[in-house]
Homo-oligomer: A and B are copies of this chain.
Amino acid sequence: MEEELLGTFSNYFEQPLIDEILAEGKLMEVPAGETIMDIGQYIRSIPLMLSGAIKVLREDEEGDELLLYYLEQGETCSVTMACCMGHTKSEIRAITETETKLIMVPVQKMEEWMAKYKGWRNYVFDSYQNRLNELLQTVDSIAFKNLDQRLMDYLKKKVEVTKDNRIKSTHQEIAYDLHTSRVVVSRLLKKLEKMKKLVLHRNYIHVVDL
């Protein structure tokens, strides 16, 4: 565990902090497809990602979903932190996209370390910045782009995150993430297939060139 932690976070964290994380944090290995955080849930610990990918999504009152962004190695969920610090319920849902290794750190510790370690402060602030920028990208995407482009971006990102150009999703699942309907996704995917950008199969999509 220590090597992984060092490798991932060593540019931020000083040795005493690493020791504390190893002592206080709980290592978890989560298979793909697990909901590790849900809307309305109170949060007592925050995750430091060692490997894998987590997708973070938003849901409205009617249960409509929208993918916000992915979290990857070395990142943490600032929205979750915000909830922790404000002692409010989670505003988002987080689901493992691939098998994921992470360390869960209790909230109290994270507040303590804020005062104690410069490295921790820097890490937390940088995380906030990254999340803000990702959210701005998300806003751009839904505000300024049409579905064709959003779908292409989505597929591209998915290949990147899963490190696999065979995307194992049904059209319905993609529709949920983009907050549209299955029929629309099928239509647009067919269009992309005709443009030789991908090949459609049952239960997976072979991305050729986007």
Interface positions of A (Cβ within 8 A of B): 58, 60, 62, 64, 66, 68, 78-79, 82, 85-86, 91-92, 114-115, 118, 121, 124-126, 128-129, 131-133, 135-136, 138-140, 142-144, 179
Known: A128-B128, A131-B132, A132-B132. A140 touches B86 (CB 8 A): no
Q: Please measure, in the bound complex, the distance between the C-alpha atom of A92 and the C-alpha atom of B137, giving whole angstroms.
A: 12
Select which of B121, B128, B136 is within 8 A of A58 by beta carbon: B136
Q: For residue A92, which residue of chain B has the nearest CB? A: B136
Sample of 14 A–B contacts (CB below 8 Å): A58-B136, A60-B143, A78-B132, A82-B129, A85-B125, A86-B129, A92-B136, A128-B132, A131-B132, A138-B139, A139-B139, A139-B142, A142-B142, A144-B179
Once the chains bind, are A136 and B66 in contact (CB under 8 Å)? no
Once the chains bind, are A91 and B133 in contact (CB under 8 Å)? yes
Contacts of A132 in B (CB 8 A): 78-79, 82, 128, 131-132, 135
A-B complex: 7 closest residue pairs judged by Cβ atoms: A82-B129, A60-B144, A128-B128, A135-B135, A66-B143, A82-B132, A142-B143
Contacts of A124 in B (CB 8 A): 125
Select which of B66, B118, B133 is within 8 A of A115 by beta carbon: B118
Q: For residue A138, which residue of chain B has the nearest CB? A: B139
Once the chains bind, are A79 and B136 in contact (CB under 8 Å)? yes
Q: For residue A121, which residue of chain B has the nearest CB? A: B114
Known: A118-B115, A121-B121, A132-B135. A140 touches B58 (CB 8 A): yes
Which of A85, A114, A139 has the most chain B CB within a 10 Å cutoff?
A: A139
Q: How far is the CB of A155 from chain B (nearest CB, A)?
A: 19
Contacts of A126 in B (CB 8 A): 85-86
Select which of B58, B91, B114, B139 is within 8 A of A66 by beta carbon: B139
Contacts of A121 in B (CB 8 A): 114-115, 121
Once the chains bind, are B129 and A139 in contact (CB under 8 Å)? no
